Structure 1
Amino acid sequence: MHRVTPLKVLYFGTPVVLISSRNEDGSANLAPMSSAWWLGQTCLLGLAETSQTAANLHRERECVLNLPSSALVDAVDRIALLTARPDVPPHKVARGYTHSRTKFASAGLTEQRSHLVSPPRAKECPIQLEATLDTAHRVTDGLTAFQVSVRRTHVAEELLIPGKDYVDPLRWDPLIMKFCEYFGEAANLRDSSLATGWQMPHAQPAA
């Protein structure tokens, strides 16, 4: 039996993305978010217009999408309630946010020089995507979908299927956000007809 009920959030389960960008003073910002979806080499990032990351994207038009594994959950949570905005919005103050412009250090993560964009990569994240802003789509209630194109992809060697440019889904264990809670631990439930149809390399058991 189903019950008709309004849900406050619709975060049924999406990967966490640590977006690195440049603040107006040149410092590096690092912000966790989980409203992202992908199409080809394009990603749409759902952000509140009141966020420092949104301001940085409008101004600098570039970022790095760092994808943390589930093992980095503590690092992500350490900056979950930090904002680089010096004037912390009242609704964030009410939720416990405080101001910080040293979020890489607060997370315990290392800045790594990017190849094509100014914002640094997060060295400890096994997948890092350098991206530039194509356009911004205004949505209701102060929300914007930022459309970015991935320009360069960095993947940890141990995640790649040997001899192929594919991530092994059994070795890649992304940090997942479900209804504001953290989840992980990759598991292959069954063979995929879709993977066969798309001629994707089949996952191999992790060593």
Structure 2
Amino acid sequence: MKQSFKTNKLYYGFPVFILGYQDQNFGYNITTCSSSYSLGDWIVIGVVAKENAAEQIKHYQQFTVNIPDENLMLEMEQAGFISHREKLKQLGLDYEISEQTQAPILEVCPVVLECQVDRIDEEEGICHIFAKIVERFVDPELLDDKGHFKNDRFAPTYFMGDGHQRVYRYLDDRINPMGSFIKKAKEKDDKS
């Protein structure tokens, strides 16, 4: 028999992505996110209502979902921990501005979705953003000669855990505690 499990949250494995958006204060900005699902040409993301990203997406009604691979772990973590600042320059990330959504497309992310907001439902301090995927971009090496996605070539990072501990998970057996990449970067800086 299963046991009752008391926790304030449970993440059972969601791909980590970097949300790109126009920003009234900084021009363009990003933040890390892991709450999403997509079906067909629709995507739903969840962001904390009081965060800058939610306010900017409410205003501009467009955003990009930039899906990194593990080579971008440090920047991905920092984009989530740094708040209310211009993160693109601070993290040294190259990007271009989408003609369609006017949101940043991160060059290092192998998969990018451009999205147009349909509606935003706010409940208990969370914005549930329903959006239409208006364009999909992918690095050419992730496509076969017929234009089909090579699933075995793409390895996004997954976020999981509960109120006690949250971790990053990969498609293999590795697990890294959340914040480990920033901690390693700070230790490296302290030694220099």
What is the TM-score of this pair, normalised by structure 2?
A: 0.82
Q: Which residue of 1 aligns with 2:185?
A: none
Structure 1: tracts of 5 or more residues without a match: 85-99, 188-207
8 A Cα contact 1:70 1:176, kept in partner: no
Whose helix proportion is higher, 1 or 2?
2
Q: Which residue of 2 aligns with 1:201?
A: none
8 A Cα contact 1:73 1:182, kept in partner: no
Percent of aligned positions that are identical = 20
RMSD of equivalent CA atoms: 1.7
> 1:58 Cα deviation (Å)?
0.8
Letter aligned with residue 176 of structure 1: Y
Alignment of 1:167-206 (within 5 A): 167-179=149-161, 180-185=166-171
Letter aligned with residue 46 of structure 1: G
**2:105 counterpart (121, 139, 145):** 121
Q: 1:23 to 1:113 in 2, by over 3 A?
A: closer
Q: Does 1:79 align with 2:79?
A: yes
Q: 1:78 to 1:26 in 2, by over 3 A?
A: closer
Q: 1:128 to 1:48 in 2, by over 3 A?
A: same
> 1:24 Cα deviation (Å)?
1.2
Q: 1:44 to 1:63 in 2, by over 3 A?
A: same
> 1:26 Cα deviation (Å)?
5.0
Per-residue Cα deviation, 1:11-57 (whole angstroms, up to 9, x for no partner): 11000111111111352110101010111111001111101111011
8 A Cα contact 2:64 2:114, kept in partner: yes
**1:160 counterpart (143, 147, 156):** 143
> 1:66 Cα deviation (Å)?
0.4
Q: Which residue of 2 aligns with 1:108?
A: 92
Q: Which residue of 1 aligns with 2:9?
A: 9
> 1:143 Cα deviation (Å)?
0.9
**1:137 counterpart (93, 103, 121):** 121
8 A Cα contact 2:29 2:104, kept in partner: no
Q: Which of structure 1's runs of 4+ aligned residues deviate more than 6 A? A: none
Aligned residues: 169
8 A Cα contact 2:22 2:102, kept in partner: yes
Rounded to whole Å, the distance in 2 between the matches of 1:153 and 1:59 is: 23
Rounded to whole Å, the distance in 2 between the matches of 1:174 and 1:144 is: 24
> 1:148 Cα deviation (Å)?
0.8
Greater mean deviation of Cα atoms: 33-42 or 72-81: 72-81
Rounded to whole Å, the distance in 2 between the matches of 1:169 and 1:64 is: 21
Whose strand proportion is higher, 1 or 2?
2
Q: Does 1:38 align with 2:24?
A: no
